[in-house]
Structure 1
Amino acid sequence: MSESTTAERYLRFGRIAAQGSSPTYTARCEEIAKNPDFLALLDALPEPKRQPNLLFGAVRFLDGPVDESFLSWTTAHWAGVTAVMLARSTQTNEAGRCATLMPLLARLPQPLALIEVGASAGLCLFPDKYRYAYDGQPSFGPDSPVVLPCRANAVIPRQMPQIAWRAGIDLNPVDLADPEQRRWLEALVWPEQGDRLARLRAAMEIVRADPPRIVRGDLNDTVEDLVAQAPEDATTVVFHSAVLAYLTAADRRRFAGTMRRLPVRWISNEAPAVADGKRLELLLDGEPVARTGSHGELLEWI
Structure 2
Amino acid sequence: MNDTTGTHRPDLSALAERYRDFAVHQAATSSPTLRRWAEAVAADPVLIAPLASLPPGKQQPNLVFAAARWHGARPGDVDSLRELFATRWDAFAATVRSRATQTNEPARCAAILLGLRQLRGQVALLEIGASAGLCLIPDRYSYSFNSEARLEPPSGNGPVALDISLGHGLLPPAVMPHIVWRAGLDLHPLDPADPDTLAWLHTLVWPEHEARRARLTAAATLVTEEGVRVTAGDLTTDLTRVAADAPRDATLVVTHSATLAYLDEPARRTAVEHIGRLGAHRISFEARGVDPSVPRIDTPATPDTLFVAALDGVPYALGDGHGTVLTRP
TM range (shorter): over 0.9
CA shift for structure 1 position 277: 6.4
The correspondence for 1:49, drawn from 58, 67, 72, is 58
CA shift for structure 1 position 233: 1.3
Q: Which amino acid aligns with 1:178?
A: D
The CA distance in 2 between the partners of 1:175 and 1:230, in whole Å, is 22
Are 1:128 and 2:139 an aligned pair?
yes
The CA distance in 2 between the partners of 1:32 and 1:3, in whole Å, is 11
RMSD over equivalenced CA pairs, Å: 1.7
Q: Write the mapping of 1:261-280 to structure 2, written as runs, cut at 5 A.
A: 261-273=277-289, 276=301, 278=303, 279-280=306-307
CA shift for structure 1 position 67: 3.2
Q: Write the mapping of 1:37-186 to structure 2, written as runs, cut at 5 A.
A: 37-68=46-77, 69-75=79-85, 76-135=87-146, 137-142=148-153, 143-153=157-167, 154-186=170-202
The CA distance in 1 between the partners of 2:67 and 2:270, in whole Å, is 32
Q: 1:144 to 1:253 in 2, by over 3 A?
A: same
Give 4+ residue runs of structure 1 displaced > 3 Å after superposition: none
Listed one character per residue, the Cα deviations across residues 243-272 of structure 1 (whole Å, up to 9, x for unaligned) are 111111111111121232222111011112
CA shift for structure 1 position 138: 2.8
The correspondence for 2:41, drawn from 14, 18, 32, is 32
Partners of 1:271 and 1:277 within 8 A in 2: no
Are 1:242 and 2:258 an aligned pair?
yes
Q: Which amino acid aligns with 1:62?
A: H
Partners of 2:165 and 2:326 within 8 A in 1: yes
TM-score (norm 1): 0.94
The CA distance in 2 between the partners of 1:259 and 1:251, in whole Å, is 12
Partners of 1:93 and 1:185 within 8 A in 2: no
The CA distance in 1 between the partners of 2:59 and 2:119, in whole Å, is 39
- More deviation in 248-257 or 270-279? 270-279
Partners of 1:32 and 1:71 within 8 A in 2: no
TM-score (norm 2): 0.87
The CA distance in 1 between the partners of 2:72 and 2:236, in whole Å, is 36
Listed one character per residue, the Cα deviations across residues 158-199 of structure 1 (whole Å, up to 9, x for unaligned) are 200111111001111111121111111111000111111111
Q: Which segments of 5 or more consecutive residues in structure 1 lack a partner in the other structure?
A: none
The CA distance in 2 between the partners of 1:177 and 1:227, in whole Å, is 25
| Partner residue, 1:190 | 206
Partners of 1:146 and 1:202 within 8 A in 2: yes
| Partner residue, 2:32 | 23
Q: Which amino acid aligns with 2:226?
A: D
The CA distance in 2 between the partners of 1:90 and 1:228, in whole Å, is 28
- More deviation in 42-51 or 126-135? 42-51
The CA distance in 2 between the partners of 1:172 and 1:70, in whole Å, is 31
Listed one character per residue, the Cα deviations across residues 47-69 of structure 1 (whole Å, up to 9, x for unaligned) are 11111111111122233321323
CA shift for structure 1 position 240: 0.5
Q: Which amino acid aligns with 1:226?
A: V
The CA distance in 1 between the partners of 2:163 and 2:236, in whole Å, is 33
The correspondence for 2:322, drawn from 295, 299, 302, is 295
Q: Which segments of 5 or more consecutive residues in structure 2 lack a partner in the other structure?
A: 1-10, 290-295
3-state secondary structure, aligned to 1:125: coil
The CA distance in 2 between the partners of 1:163 and 1:295, in whole Å, is 23
